[in-house]
Structure formats: C-alpha cells, structure tokens
Structure 1
Amino acid sequence: MMDMKQILFFALLLVPVYTCKSRCYNETELDDAAGRKLSKHYPQPPLPLRRATPGSSPSCPVELYRQQAQELISDRSLSPWRHVLKTNTARYPSTYVEAECLCPGCIVFKDNAPVESQNFNSVPIVQSRVFLEKVRCENKENTNTTYRLKPIRVDVAVGCTCVRARTSS
C-alpha cells in the first residue's frame, strides 16, 4: 500500500506529462481556438493606422524634415521607418506589421538643412513576440487532418533607431 509521500511523488511526476499534451483542432475549430489563446495568454499589439502601400519601395524622406508639423514618431525620427504588412498563414496571427527602416544612414542637420549622414546607421529595434504555429497532429486512428497550436517566439522589428556607424580598427 502506498503512503501519502509516494502518492504525492507519483502525482508530481504525472502532472507534467498530462499537461504537456496539447489539444488538436480540426480546420473549423482552429481559428476560434487561436483567437481565444492569443487574447487570453498572448495579447497582440494593435495594428498601426498607417502602413506602407504594397509594392512601394522605401526611400529616405529627407524632404519631410523641411516641413514643420510631423505627427508620427516614425516620421520625426532621425532614423525614420514605415510599417509593412507581413503574412504567414502557418501562424496566428497570420498577418502582422513590421517596421522597415527607410534610410541606410541617419538624418542630421548640417547648416540648418536636413541631410542623410553615413556616419550613422539606421537599425531596426526588435521585439520578441509570441505567435501560435499550426502544427499537424499525428492521427493514427483518425483520417481527418487536425492541428495543435504551438507557441513560438519571433523577433519582429517595431521601429528604427540611429547608431554610430561601425568602424574597423
């Protein structure tokens, strides 16, 4: 007969095995399950109001700095960026935005005029975000395809900053 310590020890060994099993969802359940998990465990940042036009190429907007009123931080930065819509249908959320630096250098003022300086570099600021990856379940007895949702960390550029250029010594 098992005493209380043995029962507790056995239960502690079983709990991780039991909780590691993740539920499998069919195609119709998958979107709802992902939405619930994301909202409850992995809240997502809101999409920016202004995004780049698909197919447009980035350009360093030095001329913007001749104008006075700029509302968005991305437009006032010495290392400006734009938001680009990205899509990956194997993950939830499948659509997200990523920052793209507009200048290789940084905008500085020389003789009160904005110019791009190559003495500095625009580099992305990266944030780790959690996405849910759609992973196919092994269904030996069932012929329907089901998926589980596996949390993964992905580095996403959220803005750009200006840094000194690297120099070789």
Structure 2
Amino acid sequence: MEISYKIFLVAILSVLYTSHVQGNPVKREACQHPSQDDLREMLSQYTNNALSFATTPGANSQPASKTCPGDDYGFGAPLELRSNCPFFYVEDTDEERYPSTLVQAECYQCRNCLDDSRESGYHVMYNCEKLMHKVWVLRNSNICIGGIYQYNAVQVNIPIACTCARERR
C-alpha cells in the first residue's frame, strides 16, 4: 500500500511540474507590459538615460558600403563623415529593453585614422575605436506582479561615435 501511495504522489507531482515547466501552470495570471508612458516615467528618474538615443525603427539607413569613405566629403558634410574616424549610425533593437530601439555609432572600416598630412592618407600609429557612453535602460525581468511585467533599471554601454586612438597594448 505504501508503494502505490508513493507512485501516486510522484505521478501527481510529475504532472504539476510538467504543466508548469511547459508554461501551463495550474493557475496563471495574464501579464501585460507597462504602458510606454509608464516606462518613460520610470526611466526619466535616472540621469544619463537612453531616452535621447531612442529612435523609431527604420528611421536610420545604413550606408551602401562600410568601406572607408576617405576624404571624399567636403566641409558641408556631417561631422560623422568629416571625422578622422568616420562613422555612421545603426539601430539596435531589443524587445526586452526600453527603449527597445537605440541609435548607435558604427565605425567605417578604415585601415587607420584618416590623416590629410600623410601621403597614404592614413595615420600609421593610430586606429579608429568606438567611443562608449554609459546610459540607463529598463530591462524586462519577466517577473509578473499584479498582472504587470516588472522592469529593472540597468546601465549599458553604447557606442556614440568613433575616435582616433593609440593601439591598445
């Protein structure tokens, strides 16, 4: 009798565990994400937040080629093309983060920093590197309390430009 009771108990626990692991808990509350206004308000409490780097998906277009543009651009070109380490902007989308789409800098594939004073057009000792900036974002914790997913504030590094720097040693 004791063996059949243990088998029955193991069977019940197995069914409950399996249904919970497969995402079908016995009682599951529906969970929603906070509104965009609520998320914006939560993030605005942090200085250096990512709201100024947020964009609408599709707002930025990547260049046709990532090869180094050289000095093809005149004085009227935007800073990112006149720089001795030219760069362009790309979108980074992560649906579990707020803001979900951020603008980030990407360096063109230049051999070294551009240098007009050299015959080759490149500086031999300096390379282009991403300039990183720490900002606050909200990350979905996937924890549901009261029917609302909870978000945690975390700091992330995002590239905001490319700069000329000595090689790392």
Under TM normalisation by the shorter chain, which class is it? 0.5 to 0.7
1:93-145 deviations in Å (ceiling 9; x for gaps): 0000111111241101246x672344210001100010000112256xx7x5x
Q: Secondary structure at the residue paired with 1:75? A: helix
Q: What runs of 5+ residues in structure 1 fail to find an aligned partner? A: 1-24
Equivalent residue for 1:61? 69
* 1:73 maps to 2:76: no
Structure ID, larger Rg: 2
RMSD: 3.0
In the alignment, the residues of structure 1 paired with residue 149 and residue 54 of structure 2 have an alpha-carbon distance, to the nearest angstrom, of 27
* 1:36 maps to 2:22: no
In the alignment, the residues of structure 1 paired with residue 46 and residue 89 of structure 2 have an alpha-carbon distance, to the nearest angstrom, of 25
**Aligned partner letter, 1:32:** D
* 1:106 maps to 2:118: no
Query: Equivalent pairs: percent with the same residue?
Result: 24
Contact 2:34 2:149 in 1 (8 A): no
In the alignment, the residues of structure 2 paired with residue 104 and residue 90 of structure 1 have an alpha-carbon distance, to the nearest angstrom, of 36
**Aligned partner letter, 2:165:** V
Contact 2:74 2:82 in 1 (8 A): no
Count of residue correspondences: 134
1:52-98 deviations in Å (ceiling 9; x for gaps): 428x441211142xx43234221111011111111000000000011
Contact 1:127 1:157 in 2 (8 A): yes
Equivalent residue for 1:11? none
Q: What runs of 5+ residues in structure 2 fail to find an aligned partner? A: 1-29
**Aligned partner letter, 1:98:** Q
In the alignment, the residues of structure 2 paired with residue 138 and residue 40 of structure 1 have an alpha-carbon distance, to the nearest angstrom, of 22
CA 1:71–1:40 in structure 2 vs 1: closer, same or farther (change >3 Å)?
farther
Equivalent residue for 2:122? 116
